Amino acid sequence: MASSSLPLPSSSERLSLSFRSPPSPSLTPEMKDGEYSNWSELPTELTSSILQRLGPIEVLENAQKVCTSWRRVSKDPAMWRKIVMHKVEGLGCNLDIMCRHAVDRSQGGLVEIEIWDFGTDSLINYIADSSSGLRSLKLAKSFQVTDDGLTEAVVKLPYLEELEVSNTSILSAKSLKVLGQSCPNLKTFKLNQRGFLRPRIQSDDDALAIAETMHGLRHLQLFGNILSDVGLNAILDNCPNLEHLDLRQCFNVNLLGDLEKRCDERIKVFRRPNDSTYDYPYDATAIDIFSDEVVFRLMPDANYYPDLMAGSDYSDYDPTDDYDF
């Protein structure tokens, strides 16, 4: 009996078939095998997970306008327990207002907030007034946030466990004491700035304030601080739980005597003053006030300063002089 099966395709036909593109799916396919016909039909928890990966600016500017279900999810306070906002060049919106709106959506449930390249005393205090349970506050390059404004905000945050102030206003030793006394649960503190190669101005005020009031610290980063071995010893004496210590570009720390051994034995992760800055997320260019670039900004016509250009040893340099950069 003749077989009723169809003939198999030839090898050339099979090769041709293997390179054919799959058919383009419909923009709104019917639900099939657990797939959803469009974005609006995704489960709420999946939509929430997607929107959280976008970030607050993208959600407020775009995603919440996609459909009714996305807008509903975007208003869930659980979406706003963590807020990370970086200034975006060319973004035509007021980040101060947008940040306040994001804080409002948390309905007091904000736990973590990170702000880059913007921020004011008023905004930081608005956050503190609205989110007394805040656990983590990170400020980077927020130059309009002042010492007094930040201190006023932090005293309203008794549950704060992590604070970062990087390349922002420099906190005074007095403010650091208030901070330590107001936030007894503080475990991580980062106070970062660009290091000073020259002049070597030295002060242990910050270190002593930390040692006096922040006994529960586990992670401490003082990138570019002007503390010395004296301040470092005080921190080691008074912060018994310290596990991570970053002193990169702290050029007054010399680790004399048994200090380096003490750090190695006590600290799990210890970054020394001259260690690599490859993983530091901010500008790590150390300031040298006597470099050619700075000298010419201070004194644009070198002909008026023959001694300086000839190689002065700067023995008459007065570190109390005020220079307007």
Q: What is the pLDDT of residues 75-93, one digit of tens each?
A: 778 888 999 998 877 676 7
Determine, yes or no, domain membership for 213. Answer: yes
Determine, yes or no, domain membership for 321. Answer: no
Q: Give the other-Cβ count within 10 Å of 76's Cβ.
A: 15
Determine, yes or no, domain membership for 29. Answer: no
CB-side exposure of 93: number of CA atoms within 13 Å? 18
Q: Which element (helix H / strand E) includes 237?
A: helix 229-238
Question: Residue 189: which of 157, 156, 222, 211 has the closest Cα?
Answer: 222
CATH number of residue 55's parent domain: 1.20.1280
pTM of the shown model: 0.75
How many domains are contained in the chain?
2
pLDDT value at 140 more than 60:
yes
Determine, yes or no, domain membership for 202. Answer: yes
**Residue 38 binned pLDDT confidence (cut-offs 50, 70, 90):** low
Most confident listed range (30-39, 96-105, 164-173, 262-271): 262-271
List, in sequence order, every residue forming a beta bridge with 162; answer none if it has no partner.
136, 188
For residues 57 and 88, the answer to whether their CB atoms sit within 8 Å is: yes
Distance CA 189, CA 200 (A): 24
**DSSP reduced 3-state for 270:** strand
For residues 142 and 117, the answer to whether their CB atoms sit within 8 Å is: yes
Which pLDDT score, from 0 to 100, does residue 14 have? 38
146 Cβ partners below 8 Å, 6+ apart? 121, 169
Determine, yes or no, domain membership for 205. Answer: yes
Question: Residue 168: which of 196, 192, 190 has the closest Cα?
Answer: 192
Question: Residue 266: which of 297, 296, 287, 235 has the closest Cα?
Answer: 235
Determine, yes or no, domain membership for 171. Answer: no
For residues 120 and 91, the answer to whether their CB atoms sit within 8 Å is: no
Q: Which domain holds residue 72?
A: 41-79
Determine, yes or no, domain membership for 250. Answer: yes
**Residue 20 binned pLDDT confidence (cut-offs 50, 70, 90):** very low
Q: Give the other-Cβ count within 10 Å of 44's Cβ.
A: 11
> Which of 162-166, 266-270, 283-287 has the lowest average pLDDT?
283-287
Determine, yes or no, domain membership for 180. Answer: no
Mean pLDDT of all residues in the chain?
A: 78
Four-CA torsion 184, 186, 189, 191, nearest 10 degrees? -30
Distance CA 30, CA 83 (A): 36
For residues 167 and 142, the answer to whether their CB atoms sit within 8 Å is: no
Of the residues 55, 79, 103, the one at which a domain ends: 79
DSSP 238-265: H-TT--EEE-TT-TT---TTTHHHHHHH
Distance CA 39, CA 295 (A): 59
**Residue 292 binned pLDDT confidence (cut-offs 50, 70, 90):** low
pLDDT value at 30 more than 70:
no
